[in-house]
């Protein structure tokens, strides 16, 4: 699916170009690609299920503490 590939590329580009290697906010994905917010979340969930991407949610979601959250937990975030 072309949308998934675009999201994957956007995530990688944002991460690599970030001076502190932060991840991209979910809302920014939908805005930059012109996708509906809920649709972009569904697509990101597909990438999470295939272990291509991860969703981090905490007091500072840009920091992955010791490991990624379990996939099931990521999908609930």
In tens, the pLDDT along 11-30 reads 999 988 988 777 888 899 99
Give per-residue pLDDT as tens, 37-63. 999 999 999 999 998 988 876 666 555
Q: Are 73 and 49 in contact (CB under 8 A)?
A: no
**52: Cα separation from own chain's centroid:** 9
Task: Name the domain count of the chain.
Answer: 1
pLDDT at 1: 78
pLDDT at 11: 92
Domain at 12, CATH number: 1.10.10
Q: Which domain holds residue 25?
A: 2-76
| Residue 71 backbone phi and psi in degrees, to 5 | -55, -45
**Residue 19: predicted pLDDT:** 82
The pLDDT, as a whole number, for residue 2 is 95
Task: Give the pLDDT confidence score for residue 9 in this predicted structure.
Answer: 96
């Amino acid at each position: 699916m072309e949308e998934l590939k675009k999201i994957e590329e956007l995530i990688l580009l944002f991460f690599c170009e970030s001076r502190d290697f932060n991840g991209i906010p979910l809302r920014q994905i939908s805005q930059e690609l012109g996708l509906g917010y809920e649709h972009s979340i569904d697509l990101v969930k597909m990438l999470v299920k295939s272990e291509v991407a991860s969703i981090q949610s905490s007091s500072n979601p840009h920091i992955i503490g010791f490991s990624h959250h379990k996939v099931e937990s990521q999908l609930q975030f």
